[in-house]
């Protein structure tokens, strides 16, 4: 029987690639999507489609973060547009959601313990998004230790690992890796603004475009939108 892994799946390029990496590594993935009141549900549709394509169990959990504090939660805060990619790592952007990965990992570890999973997989990346404090190696190492101490599994000498296979990759490396794994790029969604076609101007769109360009790979999502 294959070992299980809870895979946090937002529907974006990184989380989809991390999911496919878990499949390659011999895990039986259980996909988890958190609907946390973000600006749009387009990425949730992508997560559902990716999980369906793989034929794996998918859970979508609605939660609310009514206090806002992020451009992804509060319509009164503007999503940064047309920023220089080199400037994105200099400050924590308005799209940072307070403690989001801590909340997501808590749900993932709860399911992991209930399901007898050996790992939680997250598409965190510390290279292109090093300005997000909850995407850094030291954060993930600390959280794994927190959950070891806070769970029955850990108290009984077991361990649920946090796997972040993309942590030290550039976006171009992620694209190349995803291509090798057969990730359906056309099913993923990165744009912060939703809609039927990517805006091409938000940080996420710009980083995605940079990654595909540097990898020398055509992005089928934006190609389809251009037709």
Name the average pLDDT for the chain: 94
How far is it, in rounded angstroms, from Cα 121 to Cα 144? 12
Judge whether 19 and 31 are in contact, CB under 8 Å.
Answer: yes
Domain total in the chain: 1
At residue 225, the pLDDT reads 57
Whole-number pLDDT of residue 130: 59
| pLDDT at residue 194, as a whole number | 85
Q: With beta carbons less than 8 A apart as the criterion, state whether 163 and 120 touch.
A: yes
| Strand partners for 4 | 28
CATH number of the CATH domain containing 129: 3.40.50.620
**Helix H or strand E segment including 34:** strand 27-35
DSSP assignment letter at 135: G
Based on its alpha-carbon atoms, the radius of gyration of the chain, rounded to whole angstroms, reads 17
pLDDT < 70 positions in the chain: 129-130, 224-227
Residue 225: its H or E element: helix 220-226
Distance (Å, rounded) from C-alpha 19 to C-alpha 7? 6
Which residue range is the domain that position 110 belongs to?
3-226
Q: What is the pLDDT of residues 90-135, one digit of tens each?
A: 788 999 999 999 999 999 999 999 999 999 999 999 887 657 899 9
Q: Please name which of 148, 101, 95, 119 lies closest in space to residue 30, comparing C-alpha atoms.
A: 119
| pLDDT of amino acid 210 | 94
């Amino acid at each position: 029987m294959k070992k299980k892994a809870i895979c946090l799946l937002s529907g974006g390029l990184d989380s989809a690639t991390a999911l496919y990496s878990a499949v390659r590594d011999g895990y039986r993935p259980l996909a988890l999507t958190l609907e946390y009141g973000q600006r749009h549900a387009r990425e949730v549709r992508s997560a559902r489609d990716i999980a369906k394509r793989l034929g794996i169990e998918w859970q979508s959990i609605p939660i609310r973060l009514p206090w806002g504090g992020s451009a992804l939660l509060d319509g009164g805060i503007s999503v940064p547009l047309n920023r220089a990619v080199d400037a994105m790592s200099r400050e924590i952007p308005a799209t940072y959601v307070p403690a989001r990965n801590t909340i997501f990992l808590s749900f993932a570890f709860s399911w992991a313990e209930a399901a007898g999973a050996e790992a939680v997989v997250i598409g965190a990346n510390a290279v292109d998004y090093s300005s997000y404090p909850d995407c850094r190696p030291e954060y993930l190492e600390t959280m794994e230790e927190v959950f070891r101490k806070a769970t029955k599994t850990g108290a009984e000498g077991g361990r649920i690992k946090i796997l972040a296979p993309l942590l030290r990759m550039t976006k171009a490396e992620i694209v190349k890796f995803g291509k090798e794994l057969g990730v359906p790029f056309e099913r993923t969604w990165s744009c912060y603004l939703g809609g039927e076609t990517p805006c091409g101007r938000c940080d996420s769109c710009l980083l995605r475009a940079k990654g595909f360009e540097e990898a020398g790979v055509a992005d089928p999502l934006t190609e389809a939108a251009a037709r």
